[in-house]
């Protein structure tokens, strides 16, 4: 794991918002909650590429159930730090979800447009249930009526990177989540 004291990547952060230990503890709690709620079921865990991958990998290892994995990828047009509200599906599921209990696993809910689109898209395919699990939630910026079923942390309205979250595809490998220095994206 990267060392927070010596890694140069951390020089681009204004501050660390959530440290790796805090994240790991909360992910374990979410895993335990999902384990309880889906007892006797075999949920299909759908990760949203690429941002959710570290969270996804850590979370599924805290869910003590038989489960299956699948992935979707979306992109939203817009500037690097603000989404436009137009969602494009880049990768669809590999498997049929008819009768399945689907848990969508996402890195962050911001305007909510991406997840609303994905939920609507999956609804028509006959899933038994669809729930949303997000690591981060920025409710201050919500533009649609969407509430995650499971949420790791509610955060302030700041642009964050790390633990899967990127700026221009960089910083996803930071083990912690931090607020990016404004000068990095206004340069
Ligand atoms: P929404 O459709 O809810 O506005 O946006 C969801 C997507 O926008 C997330 O999956 C993520 O890719 C991106 N996003 C929203 N807020 C942030 C942020 O603070 N940092 C980063 N790196 N991406 C964000």
Summarize pLDDT for 44-60 with one digit per residue, the tens.
Answer: 999 999 999 999 999 99
**Cα–Cα distance for residue pair 187/172, rounded to 1 Å:** 20
Whether 64 and 33 have beta carbons less than 8 Å apart is answered as no
Name the strands in the sheet holding 13-18, side by side, starting at the edge strand that comes first in the sequence.
Answer: 13-18, 177-180, 160-161
Q: What is the DSSP string of 10-68?
A: GGGEEEEEE-HHHHHHHHHHHHHHHHHHTTT---EEEEEETTTHHHHHHHHTT--S--E
Q: How confident is the model at residue 84 (pLDDT cuts 50, 70, 90)?
A: low
110 is catalytic: yes
Ligand 1: atom nearest CA of 83 is 4
Two tokens at 146? 């969407």
Position 31 scores a pLDDT of: 98
**Cα–Cα distance for residue pair 105/120, rounded to 1 Å:** 15
Ligand 1: atom nearest CA of 51 is 12
Could you give the percent of the chain with pLDDT greater than 70? 96
Ligand 1: atom nearest CA of 116 is 2
Q: How confident is the model at residue 80 (pLDDT cuts 50, 70, 90)?
A: low
C-alpha 158 – ligand 1 centre gap (Å): 11
C-alpha 171 – ligand 1 centre gap (Å): 14
Among 9, 71, 72, 83, residue to substitute to test ligand 1 (most atoms within 8 Å of Cβ):
83
C-alpha 108 – ligand 1 centre gap (Å): 6
* DSSP collapsed to 3 states, 119-173: HHHHHCCCCCEEEEEEEEECHHHCCCCCCCCEEEEECCCCCEEECCECECCECCC
Q: Does the structure show a pLDDT above 70 at 95?
A: yes
What predicted TM-score, i.e. pTM, was given to this entire model?
0.95
Residue nearest to atom 23 of ligand 1 (CA): 165
**pLDDT tens, residue by residue, 150-185:** 999 999 999 999 999 999 999 999 999 999 999 998
Mean pLDDT, rounded, for 65-80: 86
Residue nearest to atom 10 of ligand 1 (CA): 108
**pLDDT tens, residue by residue, 128-143:** 999 999 999 999 989 9
**Cα–Cα distance for residue pair 22/48, rounded to 1 Å:** 22
* Selected catalytic residue, list 110, 137, 157, 168: 110
Q: Does the structure show a pLDDT above 70 at 78?
A: no
Q: Does the structure show a pLDDT above 70 at 107?
A: yes
Residue nearest to atom 20 of ligand 1 (CA): 160
Mean pLDDT, rounded, for 33-40: 98
């Amino acid at each position: 794991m990267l060392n927070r004291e010596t890694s140069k990547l951390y020089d681009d952060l204004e501050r660390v918002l959530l440290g790796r230990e805090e994240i790991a503890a909360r992910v374990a709690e979410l895993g335990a909650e999902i384990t309880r709620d889906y007892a006797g079921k075999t949920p299909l865990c759908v990760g949203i590429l690429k941002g959710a991958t570290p969270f996804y990998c850590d979370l599924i290892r805290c869910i003590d159930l038989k489960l299956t994995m699948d992935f979707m990828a979306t992109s939203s047009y817009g500037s690097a730090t603000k989404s436009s509200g137009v969602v494009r599906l880049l990768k669809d599921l590999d498997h049929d979800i008819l009768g399945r209990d689907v848990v969508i696993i996402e890195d962050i809910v911001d305007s909510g447009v991406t997840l609303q689109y994905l939920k609507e898209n999956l609804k028509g395919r006959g899933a038994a249930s669809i729930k949303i699990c997000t690591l981060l939630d920025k409710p201050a910026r919500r533009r649609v009526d969407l509430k995650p079923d499971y949420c790791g942390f509610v955060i302030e309205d700041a642009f964050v990177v790390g633990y899967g979250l990127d700026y221009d595809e960089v910083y996803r490998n930071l083990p912690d989540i931090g607020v990016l220095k404004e000068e990095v994206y206004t340069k």
